Amino acid sequence: MLVELLYCSVSVAPQITDADLEHILACARRRNLEAGITGMLLYYRGEFVQILEGRKKSVENVYEKFIGPDLKHTALNKVHQNTISHRSFSEWSMGFIGEPEVESRMPLSVIGILMNLLTDEAKTKPLSMGLNAFVSIYNQLRKSPYR
Ligand SMILES: Cc1cc2nc3c(=O)[nH]c(=O)nc-3n(C[C@H](O)[C@H](O)[C@H](O)COP(=O)(O)O)c2cc1C
């Protein structure tokens, strides 16, 4: 059974560095590839939003054993977990949207960024509940005053 899991968290370091992000992503991608997990991580102004997709057991295992206990972030809030019929990010062991992409004026919204990253199958379908939530959290982050 395929599921998508969406959560938000807050980075512990006041200024997370590019090296920190690269470390998180390198570890995450290696493990996700082994576990058949795909998804997208967004980092903006000290907050993370991540969507994971894969087999229920694998997603829950990675979330509970590796993501939850990671001391680089805190205040994890599982926003949503839902069964899905297909993956939206099947080519991404963990895609990443960082501050430059969020601030960029070129793709006018995160939908623009996301649409470039979604698989062709996902592009032809309405956004899943998880993706919809991802977009609405992103919109809230963007509107909130700079911390
Ligand atoms: C925001 C965030 C997202 C993460 N996403 C994943 C993930 O998708 N898959 C995974 O296996 N681990 C994930 N992790 C855990 C890290 O990949 C990895 O376990 C950690 O960076 C190793 O930390 P250490 O060097 O402090 O032991 C995530 C951690 C954080 C903080």
Residue 60 confidence (pLDDT) = 98
| 108 pLDDT higher than 60 | no
Cα separation, 95 vs 97, in Å, equals: 7
CA of 124 from ligand 1 middle (Å) equals 31
What pLDDT score was predicted for residue 105? Answer: 60
With a 6 A CB cut-off, is 21 part of the ligand 1 pocket?
A: no
pLDDT tens figures, 42-99: 999 899 999 999 999 999 999 999 999 999 999 999 999 999 999 999 999 999 998 8
Domain count, the chain: 1
Residue 138 pLDDT: 83
How far does the centroid of ligand 1 lie from the alpha carbon of residue 31, in Å? Answer: 9
> Which atom of ligand 1 is found nearest the CA of 94?
8
Distance CA 10, CA 75 (A): 6
Residue 120 vs residues 21, 36, 90, 115: alpha-carbon distances, Å: 27, 19, 10, 9
Q: Domain range spanning residue 92?
A: 2-143
Q: Which residue has the higher pLDDT, 78 or 104?
A: 78
CA-closest candidate to residue 114, choices 126, 97, 98, 93: 97
Q: Residue 110: is its pLDDT beyond 80?
A: no
Residue with the bigger pLDDT between 137 and 61: it is: 61
pLDDT band at 109 (very low <50, low <70, confident <90, very high): low
The answer, yes or no, to whether residue 129 has pLDDT greater than 70, is yes
d(CA 6, CA 78): 6
25-40 pLDDT, tens digit each? 999 999 999 999 999 9
Note the pLDDT of residue 9. 97
CATH number of the domain encompassing residue 31: 3.30.70.100
Residue with the larger pLDDT of the pair 51 and 141 = 51
67 lines ligand 1 (CB under 6 A): yes
Sign of CA pseudo-dihedral 99, 105, 107, 110? positive
Asked whether 41 lines ligand 1 (CB < 6 A), one says: yes
